[in-house]
Amino acid sequence: MPRIIFEKGEQKNFLVKARAMIHGQVDSLAMVCNVHPRTLRDWIREKYRMPESAFDSINHRLKIKAVPSIRVIPDYEHVSRAGRQGALKRNALYGSPGTKEGRSKGGRTSCFVQQEAFNRGVISGFMCRKDIHLPPYSEELAEAIGVILGDGSISKFQVSISVSALVDQKYSKFLVQLFKRLFYIKVVKKEVEKNTIRLTLSSRQLVEWLIQMGLVVGDKIRQNVKIPNWIIKDEKYLKTCLRGLFDTDGCVYYHHHFVNGREYNDIGWEFSNLNKNFLNVFYNFLLQKGLRAKLGSRRVVLYNRKDINSYFQEVKTNNPKHVRRYQQYFEKIRRGG
């Protein structure tokens, strides 16, 4: 409870004056303050400070004039002051515990202890770093890198891939299994916002590994990320990486146009991305395969049906929506439609 601070000797004078107004009876004044007489005697001796409630009761009942100047201190202020004095004394004897080096060491020690407990199966609620499988270079890994470069994003502790909930339901299941096979890690699949599926891999170790490979945390376009060199240097890795890129950022569509007044219904292939590096790599790859690709500021396109057929025969796709559109069109062509 709040306490009253008098000038030295004034608390005694105030209480003696109040006691005199009720004929010098300590017990009667104690009843006014609602305390034991022994407590009141301690206040008169100024052994303890009297509470604000007792001071107000005396003033209200006895109407004392010429009340001395006082100061009210809130609850537990003395505890805070005593703690501060204790801390100053401790620092004077042993030095400050709040150094940068000390905090860093304490943090490392805490993480080590919690990680050891986690490894023993002890559940403490502390988020511990998980060890994951880091696979060797492979075509599957190159495809996963392409997926991340396409519709993926990397934050400090997570890798996320976002695909359409309308047309990529089956493809999202393929991706879940792909990342599980590669990293032996839990993949959280959740529908977020409108018509979007997000796959999340939570692992600081995975993020650090991808950064070492050349991927980046944050905006891929602004940071002008590139396809890792180990993929660029090996055609079979490059092929599957481009497959991952196209399966996330590409499309197959039907279009009709007129030539010399005659209408044609045809198929189109397009890879869209704002990253110039990806566009140039994809464009050069298609040219090397003899395909008549066209390069724009934000896309690479194929219009010739034979080139599109060659692409799917050479690179293939693991996204069922591309398979469906491709197969439907060429089935129609074979039937003479």
**Pair (166, 211) in one structural domain:** yes
Contact 248, 147 (CB under 8 A): yes
**Pair (56, 12) in one structural domain:** yes
144 domain residue, yes or no:
yes
**Pair (105, 176) in one structural domain:** no
**Pair (46, 123) in one structural domain:** no
Query: What's the pLDDT score for residue 165?
Result: 92
Residue range(s) defining the domain that contains residue 216: 139-227
Nearest to 147 by CA among 55, 241, 218: 241
305 domain residue, yes or no:
yes
Q: Which helix or strand (DSSP H or E) is residue 13 part of? A: helix 10-21
> In the structure encoding, which two tokens stand for residue 71, read together?
């100061």
- Distance of alpha carbon 232 from alpha carbon 228, whole angstroms: 7
- In sequence order, what DSSP letters do the residues of 217-231 get, joined into one string? SS-TTTTT----HHH
> In the structure encoding, which two tokens stand for residue 9, read together?
């000797």
pLDDT at 326 over 90: no
**Average pLDDT in the 286-308 region?**
94
- Distance of alpha carbon 27 from alpha carbon 34, whole angstroms: 10
Query: What's the pLDDT score for residue 77?
Result: 64
Write the CA distances from 103 to 83, 96, 107, 290, integer angstroms.
21, 11, 6, 61
Across the chain, mean pLDDT equals 86
Q: 272 by DSSP, 3-state: which?
A: strand
Query: What's the pLDDT score for residue 190?
Result: 92
Q: 199, 227, 255: which is the final residue of a domain?
A: 227
pLDDT band at 91 (very low <50, low <70, confident <90, very high): confident
Write the CA distances from 203 to 85, 141, 147, 156, 213, integer angstroms.
45, 17, 17, 9, 16
For residue 269, the domain's CATH number is 3.10.28.10
State percent of the chain over pLDDT 90.
48
- Distance of alpha carbon 332 from alpha carbon 337, whole angstroms: 5
- In sequence order, what DSSP letters do the residues of 236-261 get, joined into one string? HHHHHHHHHHHHHHEEEEEEEEEETT
151 domain residue, yes or no:
yes
Q: Look at the chain and report how many structural domains it folds into.
A: 4
**Pair (148, 207) in one structural domain:** yes
Q: Which residue has the higher pLDDT, 223 or 337?
A: 223
* The model's pTM: 0.62
pLDDT band at 120 (very low <50, low <70, confident <90, very high): low
Q: 154 by DSSP, 3-state: which?
A: strand
316 domain residue, yes or no:
yes
Q: Which residues contact 326 (CB under 8 A, 6 or more apart)?
A: 252, 267, 308, 312, 317
Q: 198 by DSSP, 3-state: which?
A: strand
Q: Which residue has the higher pLDDT, 242 or 47?
A: 242
For residue 8, the domain's CATH number is 1.10.260.40
93 domain residue, yes or no:
no
114 domain residue, yes or no:
yes
The tens digit of pLDDT for each residue in 121-149 reads 565 665 656 678 899 999 999 999 999 99
**Pair (306, 267) in one structural domain:** yes
**Pair (122, 148) in one structural domain:** no
- Distance of alpha carbon 223 from alpha carbon 161, whole angstroms: 18
Query: What's the pLDDT score for residue 210?
Result: 95
**Pair (261, 294) in one structural domain:** yes
The tens digit of pLDDT for each residue in 185-213 reads 999 999 987 789 999 999 999 999 999 99
Query: What's the pLDDT score for residue 13?
Result: 87
**Pair (147, 195) in one structural domain:** yes
